[in-house]
Amino acid sequence: MTNTNTNTNTNDIENENENEYENEWINNNICKYFNKTMDSILNYLYKDDIVFDDLMKGLYYKFIHGIYIYFIMFMMLFSTNLYHLTLLLFMIMLNAFAVVVRQRCPLSEFEEKYMKESAYLTRQKILKFIIASSCEHEFESTIEMLLNAWCIISLKCLSIMILKSSNIQIVNFNNIYCV
């Protein structure tokens, strides 16, 4: 009876040792191969020395930057609540302050640090064919965009206040506005 228990215990120990060896082999060989492959693909695509980990960090900052911009645009388009719009004005003002102090957007700095390309450079490449802009400086272009967004939101706040003070109802067809 004890002989079969010791056989099963030694079999369990051998299986655990084999599993540990397989996991160690996978971690050492396959993960290194994957990282080397991704690094070579990134070097081919970007023509610079970009490491896979840096790409992931850069994509993270680009995702955060995109969410921030889309959140502001969504609230700017679909909100009629003055408190929400005032909060957006404050957020844009803080972003403009950060751009003035740092001379560029902090999230764009992180994107360029890790991916060698920022959202500003991507936007300039796209808009180069649409809008003929004489401004080539990142600081001026970013401040201009933030100032335009701030003016649009403040104009919307002003128009909502005028409509409310003159007792004109804002018609909400199909419930598209956040009240």
75-127 pLDDT tens trace? 888 888 899 999 999 999 998 898 888 887 888 787 777 777 777 777 777 76
Residue spans of alpha helices (H) in the chain: 2-25, 31-46, 52-78, 82-102, 106-115, 119-127, 138-165
Q: Are residues 100 and 116 in the same domain?
A: yes
Distance CA 66, CA 59 (A): 10
Q: How many domains does the chain have?
A: 2
Q: Are residues 29 and 54 in the same domain?
A: no
In a shared domain, residues 86 and 7: no
pTM: 0.62
> Does one domain contain both 22 and 77?
no
Q: Which residues of the chain have pLDDT under 70?
A: 1-23, 25-52, 127-136, 172-179
Check if the beta carbon of residue 18 is closer than 8 Å to that of residue 12. Answer: no
Structural domain containing residue 99? 50-175
For residues 97 and 162, is the Cβ–Cβ distance under 8 A?
A: no
On whether both 142 and 68 belong to a single domain, the answer is yes
Q: 43 and 64 share a domain?
A: no
